[in-house]
Amino acid sequence: MKHEHLTNDLRERAALYSLGALPAEDAAVLAMHLARGCTVCAREVGTQERLVGALGQHATAVAPRPALREQVLAAVPAAPSTVPPSTVRPTTLAWEPGAIPGVVAKPLFADAATGRFTNMVRMEAGVSYPGHRHTDTEELFLLSGDLSVEGEHLFTGDYCAAPAGTIHAHTFSERGCTFVVTASDRDVQTDEPSLGASQPGLIFLRAHEGSWRLAAPGGISVRTLAHRPNDGHTTALVRMPAGSRLPRRRLARVEEAFVVDGSCHGSDEELRAGDYYRATPGSLSDGLATEEGCLVLLLNSGLDGL
């Protein structure tokens, strides 16, 4: 049947057909109808196709958000990894003296290719650390004692983070302290004056600040310390009540964990307060479980599945 004049229904079908939005069965029927020589519908489809093409040429190009690529990649299942998690027990390690008198460290992880490292560090009372400019993000979690950073006084359980380009010109401990830090060994010492805690990107979060959210069965809760939307990086504390277990999950990115308090076990290894482990992207986490309860600091994590 050929049409003698255009109707609203035919116009709508032609528009959807040109956009490729007409259901497959209806599109096949209309294609057959066009092949039989309906000039009314053919003319309207031609008009709509030219209109669709013109819209494509005149639309303003919009750059995608910087985080979009990482979000898309994060949604792609990671290739399974055969590399088992690496565990470090600082209690079995000796403190290694560094270049600054009164500062010693226990290396937990180091990547020669990127210059990134994670250490457990101890500063004696009255020690000051030289001013330095960060070439990559630095994160620090205070395990005990006190530490002053850019005029901000940190105590047990406090956290701070500094992105690339920021300066820590004045860092010292009045009574001594111990902390976990992940940073770059390519930071540059500087005599530049302090820019203060108001530098863009600096984060200072006290132990009593921030909210906990329920994240998994068994009362497991998460307190986010820092989150970078551009790459999905998250640092957080995970609190696990006695008898709870994290869900089994495939990691989409590197995950570092430091047991702050209590004990837990995973991959047939028991982890106690002060122990550290690192898992690679694609590895399968069977899920940490705890009998007595624990508090775990997660670094460089996407909190996959939590």
Query: Which pLDDT tens digit goes with each residue over 245-292?
Result: 888 777 777 889 999 999 998 767 889 999 998 888 777 776 788 999
Closest CA to 143 of 110, 118, 176, 184: 176
Helix (H, G, I), strand (E, B) or coil at 10: helix
Establish how many alpha carbons lie within 13 A of residue 177's alpha carbon, considering only the half-sphere containing its beta carbon. Answer: 26
| Architecture of the CATH domain 213-301 | Sandwich (2.60)
Under the phi-then-psi rule, with left for phi > 0, alpha for psi from -120 to 50, and beta for the rest, what region is 9?
Answer: alpha
CA distance 231 to 250: 18
Cross-strand pairs, 235: 226
CA distance 229 to 226: 10
SS3 of the chain: helix, strand, coil, percent, to 5: 20, 40, 45
Domain 94-205 superfamily per CATH: Jelly Rolls (2.60.120.10)
Over its length of 306 residues, how does the chain's per-residue pLDDT go in tens digits? 678 888 888 788 888 877 777 776 666 666 667 666 788 878 887 787 777 655 555 556 666 665 665 565 555 555 555 566 788 998 889 999 988 999 999 999 999 999 999 999 999 999 999 999 999 999 999 999 999 999 999 999 999 999 999 999 889 999 999 999 999 999 999 988 878 888 888 999 999 998 999 988 889 999 999 887 666 678 999 999 999 988 877 777 788 999 999 999 876 788 999 999 888 877 777 678 899 999 999 986 666 556
Question: 79-90: per-residue pLDDT in tens?
Answer: 555 566 788 998
Domain with CATH 2.60.120.10 in the chain: 94-205, 213-301
Establish how many alpha carbons lie within 13 A of residue 208's alpha carbon, considering only the half-sphere containing its beta carbon. Answer: 2
Return phi, psi of residue 222, to 5°. Answer: -125, 135
pTM, two decimal places? 0.71
Token pair of 107 as six digits: 């290396």
Helix (H, G, I), strand (E, B) or coil at 296: strand
Cβ atoms of residues 139 and 181 within 8 Å? yes
Return phi, psi of residue 174, to 5°. Answer: -75, -45
Token pair of 198 as six digits: 């108001």
